[in-house]
Chains A and B, each alone.
Chain A
Amino acid sequence: MTPSSSIASPGAAPAHDEHHDHHPNYLVDGTTIKSWLLTVDHKRIGLMFLFWVLLFFLVGGIFALLIRVELLTPGPTIMDAMTYNRTFTLHGLVMIFLFMIPAIPAVFGNFMLPLMLGAKDVAFPRLNLLSLYIYLAGAMLALWGMLNGGLDTGWTFYAPYSTHTTTTVAPVLFGAFIIGFSSIVTGINFIVTTHTMRAPGITWFKMPLFVWAIYATSCIQVLATPVIGLLLVLVTVENLFGFGMFDPARGGDPVLFQHLFWFYSHPAVYIMVLPAFGVMSEVVAAFSRKNIFGYRAVAYSSLGIAFVGFFAWGHHMFVSGQSTFVGGLFGVLTMLVGVFTAIKVFNWVGTVYKGAVDFKTPFAYFCGFLFFTVFGGMTGIALGTVSLDVPWHDTYFVVAHFHFIMVGATIMAFLAALHYWFPKMFGRTYHEGWGLVSAALIILGFNATFIPQFLVGNNGMPRRYYEYPERFQALNVASTAGASLLAFGFVIIAMYLTYALLYGRASGKNPWRSKGYEWLTESPPPTHNFVGPQPTYPEEPHFYVDPKKAEVPDAV
């Protein structure tokens, strides 16, 4: 094992501990294909998830660009209506089920959770590997269906359209159903790990906030995913054999479909965004060298969001014919989600107060994140204001809102996590200048893509429109221009990170001087996470207080 010969090597850092040669890091401990495919090491599983998730992000991104190019002109531009309908369906499905839901939990959750809890692995390592293969099996089945016939229902599969359409519904929905099991299995694994594998010294209120976020997310996954699984099976059966659950011509009820669908899919929004919140809590603490301002408030608000997230689904149905009173009820409950998010935002900003800010790439993403969360969150509250949702529902305003809050926040966090933990995972560093440039491009590009969509939604353009009236064009052109900028930012990241992976300088154990627990071990970590005695955890995570200075916590 020569230090610079393969990607796997961490490079020759001068301060290596003497165990290094006897305890190879997880990347080089076994280099055969089999040792990767059959591994039960949570870190290797996390990396394999990273590979697939990035691949699917690329696929979804290409479809996004196709959508944007089609919408450059009011009439047909590069494809026909049927192809367009399949394209946005594929874009939504791939992005949601194959990218955003697994992205942070399956990649960084898998990798970091045991490290942050001082554990040698997750509670059920084999189950962990199984969840990867379930995910891949479901993904392949769904993609096969999309390429052989394709689905044109949109990712919401609303009945009775989805039960009547002649496109191939069954394999795609069944694929999504299978992917759900991966989600449930990962969730159970994380919950049990958090409960049973915390090292001595890590009490519930000394857990890193990323662990809290993953824990809350896992609870939602385990509770909500079975509902969509059931629903997908019902729709498939109805489509194939003409059962009458959702078809009024056979005594069924299409609104029932919507209730069941949003009962999962609304909490699913938090499955996507809570892990992002968790990442950002780590990043803001590490780069402002401060303990989290209001640690408990941030931890509890994750649970709060997970809880009320289950009772807000009806806000997708204000104009579906549900009663006015029920609309009001769901409206109020939606406001509560907003309040919990506000607590987090204020506490993140508070964390910077009296800190020591180092404006590195992950912190740049934190800035973008703050903006997208505040703006995306506030527009969500506006949508919960029942009378305003009447004109906005199912227009581009909604498209812009959910891209801001769930895509914007999730992408910012995903990229922040990738940059923050890159040295941890690979033992190498990337070029900071390029990091900042691409972060700026991405944040700008994202705004340029979706701010025009708020406006075109205000102007009345419905979503899922292949052709649109002339007057919407200018804003659509602006949005497409923004999307190209965004795509360009991603290309740059792909380039310098690949370069860093191959030729980057050795990072050393803890290049950020972070006090997160995961940095207590080597970077990259050895196979069983620690060499020698298990680390001890005398302080809460992110405790940057000068020991000579006052012990007395001062209050603001």
Chain B
Amino acid sequence: MSELLNNILFLPEAASTFAERVDALHYFVVGTTMVMSAGVGLAALFMFFRYRRRLPAQATEYVVPTLKTEFLFVSVPLVFFLAWFGIGFRDFTWVTTPPKDAMDVYVMGKQWMWKFAYPEGPNGVNVLHVPANRPVRLLITSRDVLHSFYVPSFRIKQDALPGRYTQIWFEATKPGTYQVLCTEYCGLSHSKMLAEVVVLPAEEYDVWIKEQRRGRLQDRQDALADTSLVPPVARMVEQGQVLAGTQGCLKCHSVDGSQHIGPTFLGMFDRLERLDDGKDIRVDEAYITQSMMDPGAHLVAGYQNVMPTYQGKLQGPETAAIVEYIKSLRTANIREGASEGPAYDAIQ
């Protein structure tokens, strides 16, 4: 049944849990739209014929609707529209709220390619490997202009904004290869900004990611043997640690829980921070990124607005690496409460 409907409507294969929900609502909406349009159209056609003009100057009766008729005209469409909206909004909330156990992948749009980075694995360009039947959260950003990450078979789409992370999640249901398109006009080669998602059965995916890591290790050893160059940093966390040092983050933020000019990184991720306007904010990827790009936006209570912006200084993957580094500094036995004030007076 849905196979047939999909063919009539030219819908691509539905390959995610969200796709099934979207399609179900789609059939309902298209169905009622067709019935309503046909109703209006046929009624109109019937009347054009039934009430055709017989005399050039024919007089007509003065007919006006009763209040009841007008009420009907308003309420019938309203009930339908609100029903569609209700279902649609429930599904939308679902797709914008990733489950806690989702696996993270960083996505960066760039004129004109898609880059993917796994916290625990390899980086890639234009090919994204994901496991089937496991929720995957995408943290999406852009390096230059607006892009939009679109996988028709998953029915998901999310804009990529420079200087910000947005998120969406999906759970692929069928192994296979699916196309990724860019749907926000981004200049000359906008229509060539294509990529693909390779969905592997979960076990194969685990094997794949292990191999990737081994491959990286192998590369590193080969590189050492061949040229004795400094080995490339393989993992985002390590990369983030290096960056936090070279970019000067650690001048103000400690990683051992001690207080300094800024809040400590230790145990920061997922902590509830008390802000100086009295509100609380949960430290997540978006908050950390915003704190790097626009430090004054949410000031933690007790700290001065002294941090410089890293907008333009850090590239997308570098930002992601630092975020991953901070996430890795989560320890179970460390304090849960908000940061305390600085240990030294801030440099004015």
Please state if A379 and B33 are interface contacts (CB–CB under 8 Å).
yes
Segment among B120-128, B162-170, B215-223, B335-343 that sits at the interface with chain A: B162-170
- Given A353-B63, A387-B89, is A460 in contact with B51 using a C-beta cutoff of 8 Å? no
Stretch at the interface among A169-177, A202-210, A337-345: A337-345
Contact between B188 and A161, CB atoms less than 8 A apart: no
Give the contacts of B85-108 with A (CB-CB under 8 A).
Answer: 85, 87-93, 95-97
Q: Does A160 contact B (CB under 8 A)?
A: yes
Interface string of B185-225 (1 = CB under 8 A from A): 11111111010000000000000000000000000000000
| Chain A contacts for B60, CB-based, 8 A | 288-291, 354-356, 544-546
A532 at the interface (CB under 8 A from B): no
**B110 on interface, CB distance cutoff 8 Å:** no
Pairwise interchain contact A458-B159, C-beta atoms closer than 8 A: no
| A365 interfacial contact with B, CB 8 Å | no
Query: A242-262 CB contact bits vs B (8 Å, 1 = yes)?
Result: 000000111100110000000
Q: A165's closest neighbor in chain B, by CB?
A: B187
Contact A352 B29, CB 8 Å, known A251-B309, A374-B37 = no
| B146-A254 in contact (CB<8A) | yes
**A residues 343-361 touching B (CB-CB < 8 Å):** 343, 345-347, 349-350, 352-359
Q: Mark A523-549, 1 if CB is under 8 A from B, else 0.
A: 000000000000000000001111001
B291 within 8 A of A: no
User: At the interface, yes or no: A14 with Cβ under 8 Å from chain B?
Assistant: no
Our pick among B22, B47, B153, B188 for the contact of A387 (Cβ within 8 Å) is: B22
The A282-333 residues at the B interface (CB cut-off 8 A) are 288-291, 293-295, 297, 318-321, 324, 327-328, 331-332
Chain B residues with CB below 8 A from A378, complex form: 33, 36-37
Q: Which of A61-69, A123-131, A428-436, A466-474 faces chain B?
A: A466-474
Interface: B41 (CB within 8 A): yes
Does residue A82 face the partner (Cβ distance < 8 Å to B)? yes
- A556 within 8 Å of B by Cβ? yes
CA distance A385 to B26 in the complex (A): 10
Q: A522 interface residue, CB < 8 Å from B? A: no
Contact B43 A349 (CB under 8 A): yes
In the complex, the answer to whether B59 meets A462 with C-beta atoms within 8 Å is no
A339 and B145 form a contact (CB under 8 A): no
- Smallest CB–CB gap between A85 and chain B, Å? 7
Question: Would B70 and A339 count as touching, CB distance under 8 A?
Answer: no
- B148 and A254 within 8 A (CB): no
Is there contact, CB below 8 Å, between B145 and A161? yes
Distance A371 CA – B40 CA, assembled complex (angstroms): 9
Taking CB atoms, residues of chain A closer than 8 Å to B184 are: 158, 394
Looking at the assembled complex, report how far the CB atom of A369 sits from the nearest CB atom of chain B, in whole angstroms: 11
Q: Given A465-B191, A553-B62, do A352 and B47 touch, yes or no (CB 8 Å)?
A: yes
- The yes or no answer to A335 lying at the interface (CB within 8 A) is yes
A164 interface residue per 8 A CB criterion: yes
Please state if B148 and A355 are interface contacts (CB–CB under 8 Å).
no
Given contacts A335-B78, A349-B44, A387 and B294 within 8 Å (CB-CB): no
Within 8 A of B (CB), among A226-246: none
Provide the bound-state CA to CA distance between A386 and B58, in Å: 49
Interface 9-mer from B175-183, B255-263, B265-273, B323-331: B175-183
Residue B21, interface by CB 8 Å:
yes
Instruction: Tell me if A353 and B47 are in contact (CB < 8 A).
Output: yes
Query: Cα distance A85–B310 when bound, in Å?
Result: 34
- CB <8 Å contact, B95 and A297: no
Docked Cα-Cα span, A56 to B239, in Å, equals 57
Contact B56 A324 (CB under 8 A): no
- Minimum Cβ distance to chain A for residue B106 (Å): 16
In which size bucket is the chain A interface?
Answer: 35 or more
Cβ A161 vs Cβ B185 within 8 A: yes
Cβ proximity bits B6-18 to A, threshold 8 Å, 1 near / 0 not: 0001111000000
Chain B residues within 8 Å of A395, by CB: 150, 183
Cα A353 to Cα B49 with chains together (Å): 11
- Cβ of A460 and Cβ of B150 under 8 Å apart? yes
Verify A319–B88 contact, CB threshold 8 A: no
> Complex formed: what's the CA distance from A491 to B312 in Å?
54
A388 and B58 within 8 A (CB): no
Q: How far is the CA of A394 from the CA of B146 in the complex (A)?
A: 13
Indicate if the CB atoms of B81 and A462 lie closer than 8 Å.
no
CB distance from A304 to the nearest CB of B (A): 11
- Docked-complex contact A458 and B29, CB < 8 angstroms: no
Contact B82 A356 (CB under 8 A): no
Main secondary structure of the interface of B (DSSP, over half): mixed
* CB-defined contacts of B129 to chain A, threshold 8 Å: none
A-side contacts of B156, CB under 8 Å: 390-391
Asked whether A375 is an interface residue with its Cβ less than 8 Å from the other chain, the reply is yes
Residues in A with CB closer than 8 Å to B47 are 349, 352-353, 355, 357
Q: Please pick, from B30, B43, B57, the residue contacting A513 in the complex, using a CB distance under 8 A.
A: B57
* Nearest B-chain residue to A324, judged by Cβ: B96
A408 to chain B, nearest CB (A): 13
The answer to whether B63 and A291 have CB atoms under 8 Å apart is: yes
Q: Does B146 lie within 8 Å of A158, measured CB to CB? A: yes
Q: A164–B48 Cα gap in the complex (Å)? A: 55
A378 and B29 alpha carbons, distance in the complex (Å): 9
Please tell me which one of the listed residues A371, A460, A545, A554 contacts residue B152 in the complex, with CB atoms under 8 A apart. A460
Binary A-proximity of B132-167 (CB < 8 A = 1, otherwise 0): 000000000000111010101101111101111010
- The reply on B293 being an interface residue by CB < 8 A is yes
- Whether the Cβ atoms of A248 and B293 lie closer than 8 Å is yes
Q: Which residues of B contact A459 (CB under 8 A)?
A: 10-12, 152
Q: B85 contacts which chain A residues (CB < 8 A)?
A: 331-332, 335, 384-386
Q: Which of A397-450 contact B (CB under 8 A)?
A: none
Decide: B65 and A347 in contact? CB cutoff 8 A.
yes
The smallest C-beta distance from B173 to any residue of chain A, in angstroms, reads 16
- Chain B residues with Cβ below 8 Å from A386 are 85, 88-89, 91-92
- A388 with B40: CB separation less than 8 A: no
> Are the C-beta atoms of A388 and B26 separated by less than 8 Å?
yes
- Residues from chain A with a CB closer than 8 A to the CB of B333 are none
Interchain CA distance A456-B65 in the complex, whole Å: 41
In the bound complex, residues from chain B placing their C-beta under 8 Å from that of A335 are 78, 81-82, 85
Q: A331-B88, A352-B44, A390-B156 are in contact. List 18 more A-B contacts (CB 8 A).
A: A153-B185, A160-B144, A161-B145, A249-B162, A291-B62, A293-B65, A294-B70, A320-B159, A324-B93, A328-B89, A332-B85, A370-B44, A384-B85, A385-B84, A386-B89, A391-B157, A393-B183, A460-B152
A residues contacting B by CB (< 8 A) are: 81-82, 85, 152-154, 156, 158, 160-161, 164-165, 248-251, 254-255, 288-291, 293-295, 297, 318-321, 324, 327-328, 331-332, 335, 338-339, 342-343, 345-347, 349-350, 352-359, 367, 370-371, 374-375, 378-379, 381-382, 384-388, 390-391, 393-395, 455-456, 458-460, 462-469, 475, 513, 543-546, 549, 553-556
Which 9 residue pairs across A and B have the least CB separation, nearest first?
A248-B163, A460-B152, A546-B59, A385-B88, A387-B91, A465-B191, A386-B92, A394-B183, A356-B53
